[in-house]
């Protein structure tokens, strides 16, 4: 079964949506809970949570379940960062757009090489970064977050009313 289901939050079976949440939120939480005490007993360390640019934005092309799950994982990362700090455990999040993997085989746009992203992640951990921004797409979206929804999404308008049926991620 695919973990990246492209499931709509409104039109797909709930089991596909649960799979996304179980994988990206509860799966991440379960692994961190399993290893946190071991990391603490070893004097501390860093946990790197692999997030996505879709932690911050949604795309009609990607369905709603995956971005919702990744957004929940981003919030989880932020909460665990606070809970684990007193145990000398740093929790970092890696935000990345498209990497050249099986999951993005159908994507025709630019993709990062996994080895390059791994180096960026290690470099970020070495300088104690809490958020590691791995590519231009993620950097662009992160910079727009403070501008609110209008800065992140471009909406098509019809007359004086905004059509919410078409929302596009800005490049």
Calculate ∠ Cα 61-3-19, nearest 5°. 100
CA 86 to chain centre: 25
- Inter-CA distances, 10 with 7, 76, 112, 135, Å: 9, 24, 31, 31
Q: What is the pLDDT of residues 2-40, one digit of tens each?
A: 466 667 778 768 888 899 899 999 999 999 999 999 999
Asked whether the whole model's pTM tops 0.75, one would answer yes
User: What does the alpha-carbon distance between residue 71 and residue 55 come to, in Å, rounded to a whole number?
Assistant: 4
Q: What is the pLDDT of residues 65-112, one digit of tens each?
A: 888 999 999 999 999 999 999 999 999 999 998 888 787 777 777 888
User: What does the alpha-carbon distance between residue 27 and residue 146 come to, in Å, rounded to a whole number?
Assistant: 30
Compare 13 and 126 and report the one with higher pLDDT. Answer: 126
The tokens for 116 are 């390059």
Instruction: Give the pairing of strands 161-169 and 153-158.
Output: antiparallel
């Amino acid at each position: 079964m695919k973990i990246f289901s492209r499931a709509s939050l409104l039109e797909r079976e709930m089991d596909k949506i649960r799979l996304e949440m179980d994988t990206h939120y509860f799966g991440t939480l379960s692994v961190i809970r399993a290893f946190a005490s071991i990391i603490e007993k070893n004097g501390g360390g860093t946990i790197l949570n692999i997030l996505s640019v879709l932690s911050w934005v949604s795309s009609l092309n990607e369905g709603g379940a995956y971005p919702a799950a990744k957004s929940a994982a981003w919030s989880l990362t932020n909460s665990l960062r606070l809970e684990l700090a007193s145990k000398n455990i740093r929790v970092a999040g890696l935000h990345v757009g498209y990497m050249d993997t099986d999951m993005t085989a159908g994507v025709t746009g630019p993709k990062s090489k996994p080895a390059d992203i791994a180096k960026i992640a290690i470099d970020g951990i070495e300088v104690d970064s809490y958020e590691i921004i791995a590519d231009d797409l993620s950097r662009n979206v992160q910079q727009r977050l403070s501008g609110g929804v209008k800065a992140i999404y471009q909406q098509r308008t019809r007359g004086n009313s905004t059509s919410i049926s078409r929302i596009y991620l800005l490049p």
